[in-house]
Structure 1
Amino acid sequence: MNDLLIAFSAAIVGGALRVGVPFLFVSLGECLTEKSGRINLGLEGVLVLSAMAAFGGSYLSGSAWIGVLLAAAVGALLALLHGLLCALPRVNDVATGIALMLLGTGLAFYLGKPLIQPQAPQLPPIPLGGWSASPVVQAALQINPLLPLGLVLAVALWLAFARTRWGLLVRLAGDSSSATRALGYSVNGIRLAATAAGGAIAGLGGASLTLFYPGSWNEGISSGQGLIAVALVIFARWSPLRCVGAALLFGGAGAIGPALQSIGISQGYYLFGAVPYVLTLVILVITCRPGAVAAGSPGELSSTR
């Protein structure tokens, strides 16, 4: 019984660290974008297109790290397109984001057709289970090498928002575009840079999908994680550090089904696969109330634009 409990606990922790990595990068990217006063619902398209680009780059070059760089570049370019379109007069962020989501997923599905069967070089895992003699625990604690980068990015964004001139400008653009213009800064320029940088960060989440877990390319690789990340940012109250905890929470929720399978319980597997989506709905119901502005929300997001 104790061995089963240890194996289940290790599977949950390891699963949270694996499944939570894409959530972490996409939520950090959306957090940066929304801090500047712009919403990017197109990050689902960014995630899928970046995942395809990462796998294709790794397959063609023979280097998984080249795939990671390509994923970040593709994510930045698609998000940059979103930023450029949103800078035009009378263009709605939400509608443009939905259009970019469809564009990104459509391009990924079309360009990624030849990549469904091949195998590409994968990112080498970081083994954290050497302390245990159990093969199940050792396998569960194979950590994505991009996870430490995500944690560093979260701390860096938190420090930047709190203590750097660049971070204060991003927050200013997100809280008051009028005050930003009065000080002589370009609101569109700040938001364009933040949106592109947010897309590059989200692109790293795409790379983690195809180059680590599940480690292959297929058209259902994302399962809506890019859209869930928007709710995750609201739950984290636009704090990069809270995004880490929220990503691990969602990752752990998504790991319940595989963890039960790892100890021989397969009944209700597909039901447990729906836990992240149910959790998203619960969080939105609890945190979003009609007529109320969520704590920590950038001021420009609450205005009608």
Structure 2
Amino acid sequence: MATISTSTGAFFERARVSMKDLRSQAESLQSQLSSGQKLSRSSDDPVAASRLRTLSRLEKLTNIDASNAQRADADLTLADAALGDMAKAVIRMQELATQAASGTLTEDQRSALGKEVESIYSTLVSLANSRDSNGHALFGGESAGDAYTVDASGNAAYAGTATSGDLSLGDGQTVTRSLTGPEFLEFSVNGTPTDLLGVVKDLASALQGGVADPAGAARDALGSLKAGLDTLTTAQTVIGTRLSWIDLTSERRTNVGELRSTEEANLGATDITSTIATLQETMLVLQASQASFTKLSNLSLFNQLS
């Protein structure tokens, strides 16, 4: 009788363990469907869990790189717009200088031209002190204040740092977020160092009676203005190249991100269709097991043996 009793106990225990496993499996599948993740803990698949952690860290770094790219794009776009406005101002300066160089103008007419040149000078200084997307000096390198200071005589002097900061775009790639003022406002004319702001300031003064030969000063300024416009055009080309580089790296970052998302989905995301089918199968087996156990445990033979 002891043997029969032990066998009966073993039957019930096996049935209990089997149904418990089926319920646990069903609960796990339901959890995967609700969370969208097939790994509830690292022990489910240590290799996949480790890779998912690596992918998560890469995604966080990518978000930082994307933020840097957005800032660099914003700053360079602002720089391009400011340089474009400067170029328009210099073109107007060339027109005024050409008019002032004419020997037919009266002193009052040149003085009027000089006042407009003076206004353009103020505009150029204001553009040189443009702000970036964070409110810092756009053309002042790493300086937070103005890129250019103006003394009591109206002379502008660069007050920023030697270089603009670099921003990481990921994978070891960087981009310089702007230009410093001297990179496009200072140049050489026939081997002589020249400052565009100084040229404009001096011309405004000359046309308003600051020199004995204002027409000659206007003619002399034309060469410097042309060189200054060429420097501004070159600076715009540099800015455009950097913006294109940002677009290229951003496109690559997007493509890599899509591949990473696909890998994450393959490793950790729940396959809804497959999981639902498995859950239905598991529930069917569980229900059949419960029904079979109920019928078997209620047979008269088992009642007699117990």
Which TM-score bucket, shorter chain as reference? under 0.3
Which one has the largest radius of gyration? 2
User: What's the TM-score once normalised by structure 1's chain length?
Assistant: 0.27
User: What's the TM-score once normalised by structure 2's chain length?
Assistant: 0.26
Structure with more relative contact order (C-alpha pairs < 8 Å, separation 6 or more): 1
